[in-house]
Amino acid sequence: MNSSKKKPSRPVMKNTKKLSKNEACNVRALAAEILLKMQQGQSLSALLPEYQNRVPAKDFPLLQEITFGVARVLPRLEKILTYLLDKPLKGKTRIVQCLLLVGLYQILYTRVPEFAAVDEVVNATKSLKVDNMRALVNAVLRRFLREKEEILTKADKHWHTMHPDWFINLLKPVYPNWREIIEANNQKPPMWLRVNAKIARDDYRQALQANGIETATDLHPQALRLLEACGVQKLPNFDEGDVTVQDVHAQWAARLLEPQNGELILDACAAPGGKTTHILELAPEAQVVALDVEENRLKRVRENLARLKQSAEIICADASNPQAWWKNKPQFDKILLDAPCSATGVIRRHPDIKWLRQPEDIPQLVALQYKILEAMWTLLKDNGTLLYATCSVLAQENRQQIERFLKAHPDAELVMLPFAGQTAESVGQQFLPQPDGGDGFFYAKLKKHSKESK
């Protein structure tokens, strides 16, 4: 996928730095630093790999849990602080405000004993060089423990969406069930696996059970949902490519594209490579080109191809300007355009999207999507197929985008998708995030006719 989705990739850096005794016990301090930078506009996907070498490997999951968790429920925590502080801490003391958010999150949402959580956060003031605020941090958190029930009653008097108002206002006119979308976004995401197409799903499910890992299935023939998430190192034959971590709704991309051996296929905005590898699983002898605009993200594509023992042509270039990288070359039989988008369908996986994305971003993304869609259409041969995909739930980026394109292109035919509820009038398939289901995704399949056939 294109980086403008601001979708974090899983941190994979190795922890090789020797840690000092002080560094090894400052997870809460580092979490506060990361949250401060997030509020200043940086994404957790970029920040966490930078901090990975600053904690012991065993503590990194806790750092992830705290930072993602605070981002997920940030408005509620900030509301609670209004009852504990006379006024918000700003300027140089803003880091202390973030540290208090860490403390509240641990008390409310983790299994850390309450008083231990308070002590750990209070001790973090030394690592952050705000030891003069130690007494304040201690007093605020201990007061919350004493008055927790009363404060929560006040703070939770009105339902918190945990989402910015501008996003809610875009959902309401389109989705009568918009509250269900919000509630799903506020949950921790399930972990989905894609069993390699060369392996029977039931066989791999039995291998997981033999390792004490329980799963549930889905209509998608390769998908398994873990009832409890685990590290990939615990998955049987992960390094050998028997399984890939991929959301169930994202797994429909390659299936809907219907790749065939011998075809020339473009995966546009391909990073981190989950869909590229899936295409090659279904059509091992297809000629696949994986395109992305950022070289550092293409590293993940190469790693995934290597793990699954696959090969593809990799190009670092701008999808909206194909003349710069595909001039005078054959047109593609099929194109998967996983367009850069608002990523509003994957908020539960990357809750910082709620605070990093701004309303003015949406028209800019819509314009970019259309520009890339136009460019990809010129690379598609007659009778070829283009699958348009986003991980967005916004109609502007999805249904309305395709309706606009169809009006402008009489050589484009909308293909009905094989999902329940699809009719001749359906413009693509919009998946919405579900607590035990997949993420928010949109698909529309277009066939290109020659001018003569039209």
Residue numbers in the known binding site for S-adenosyl-L-methionine are: 269-275, 292, 318, 338
Helix residue ranges, H only, 320-392: 353-356, 361-379
Alpha-carbon span 43 to 361, nearest angstrom: 15
Given the residues 98, 230, 316, 391, the one annotated as active site: 391
Q: Using an 8 Å Cβ cutoff, are 95 and 38 in contact?
A: no
DSSP state of 190: P
DSSP state of 336: E
CB neighbourhood size of 113 (10 A) = 11
CB neighbourhood size of 20 (10 A) = 10
- Both structure tokens of 256: 């809907």
Token pair 């090789």 is found at 16
- Both structure tokens of 142: 């201990």
Alpha-carbon span 339 to 313, nearest angstrom: 19
Q: Using an 8 Å Cβ cutoff, are 441 and 249 in contact?
A: yes
Task: Check the CA dihedral 114-115-120-125 and report its sign.
Answer: positive
43: left (phi over 0), alpha (psi -120 to 50) or beta: beta
Q: Give burial (CB, 10 Å; 0-12/13-18/19+) of 168.
A: middle
CB neighbourhood size of 148 (10 A) = 15
| 391 noted as active-site residue | yes
CB neighbourhood size of 53 (10 A) = 16
In our burial notation (b when 16+ CB lie closer than 10 A, e otherwise), range 273-292 reads bbbbbbbbbbbeebbbbbbb
Alpha-carbon span 106 to 292, nearest angstrom: 38
- Annotated active-site positions, please? 391
